[in-house]
A = this chain, B = another copy of it.
Amino acid sequence: MNTVVLKYGGSSVSSVEKMKALAQRILQRRDAGLDVVVVVSAMGKTTNHLLELAHEASSSPSKREIDLLLSTGEQVSISLFSMILNDMGYPAIGLTGTQAGIKTKGLHTRNTIEDIDVSRIQKHLSEGKIVLVAGFQGVNALGDITTLGRGGSDTTAVALASKLACNAEIYTDVQGIYGVDPRLYPNANKLDFISFEEMKEMAFLGAKVMEPRSIEIAHRFNTAVYVGSAHEDVPGTWIKESDASMEEKSISGLSVSENVMMVNVRKLPAQAKHMANLFIRLAENDINVDMITQSQHPNGMMDVAFTTSLEELDMVQSVLKTITDEVPQCEWDIDQDCVKVSVVGIGMRTQTGVAAKLFALLSDADIGFKLVTTSEISISYTLSKKDKLRAVDVIAEHFHL
């Protein structure tokens, strides 16, 4: 029998009533002859509520205990969902991350999935049961409960589908993947298909629909992922291996990230060891650096600028303090008036002149940029916040996104 992994997010399971409505949709898949695994998130605002309790308990709660606390949210969801399906006459069973064999490694609150022992899931599927798996969580080698960080339930679903060699279907509040966020550009087109590479690039660049990690896993295992509406019966978007038709378009998508700040470090001695030292320290503190530029001056000094996410503000400041302790003449500032606009398209590989066209568009619209970086299939600009919507407009209009 064919298997499918369905994933439902927190807002679609925010009440028992909503779960009952979803159950109908799940049972249609079951009745169509599929073995069904359902990954569910915590109900509605549960995770936020638990985090509030944690911060009431401690100003800096231990991350191991945060994981222990937050993982209860999904456990409640799978229990209730399983009861609902059983009540409708369909045998079902709920499994925590631990019970579902989801082995993780890494740091608490941001673990990664190391492997999944799907034998218990397969056993229950072969018994004819619908298996509900708690998203976002797993168990580490110490037997401690771990969570997967932001977008973790998507990661659970895609990793499970990869291991079970089937498709993953992610049901959310949006109808699919758009070339541009419709809230920024109301004429945005919904895509029927997008390649793993484009989606990954868009996710890294700030598109909020899917986390990059899930797409990476899907890409590695060639697991097709569907993203669609949890509530409406309208076609969504398939994320899958690229084919020739996809390469015809030079640009498939545009994404905007506001969760970005630019860090300028000036007057570092122009030696590779100083550059290395800076980025090793940042990495040691788990700070993901995105765009980097460096410029050398005749006086033997260099300036380095990089972007990172706003959450890292405190951590970045403390790293930079250790740098200035060692290199006292070094100066730094952090620019929070930033937004990153990126265009993505696997067509860029074969079509020339896309970058040139983009520079011309921005220049004609009198939009300056602070940083620019390019990859094989994307170009990203860091702009001032005031220019965000105009940049989206001129690019989306020109490339018919």
Seen from chain A, the residues whose Cβ lies within 8 Å of a Cβ on chain B are: 16, 19-20, 50, 53-54, 56-62, 64-66, 68-69, 71-72, 75-76, 78-84, 86-87, 93-94, 96, 98-99, 120, 143-145
Contact = CB atoms under 8 A, between A and B. Distances in A.
B79 A19 contact: no
A53 B80 contact: yes
A87 B65 contact: no
Given A57-B84, A69-B76, 16 more contacts: A53-B80, A54-B79, A54-B83, A57-B80, A57-B87, A58-B83, A60-B87, A62-B83, A65-B86, A65-B94, A66-B83, A69-B75, A72-B75, A72-B76, A99-B143, A120-B143
A-B CB proximity, top 5 nearest = A69-B79, A58-B87, A72-B72, A58-B83, A57-B83
A72 B76 CA distance: 7
A61 B81 CA distance: 10
Stoichiometry, as copies per complex, reads 2
A76, A78, A145 pick with most chain B CB within 10 angstroms: A76
Contact of A61 (B60, B71, B87, B93): B87
A69 B73 CA distance: 10
A152 B94 CA distance: 23
A93 B120 CA distance: 29
A80 to B, nearest CB: 5
A80 B69 contact: yes
A57 B16 CA distance: 6
A155 to B, nearest CB: 22
Given A16-B57, A57-B19, A96 B82 contact: no
Contacts of A57: 16, 19-20, 80-81, 83-84, 87
A98 B144 CA distance: 10
Contacts of A120: 143
A87 B59 contact: yes
11 contacts: A53-B76, A57-B81, A57-B83, A58-B86, A59-B87, A64-B93, A69-B75, A69-B76, A69-B79, A98-B98, A120-B143
Nearest to A73: B72
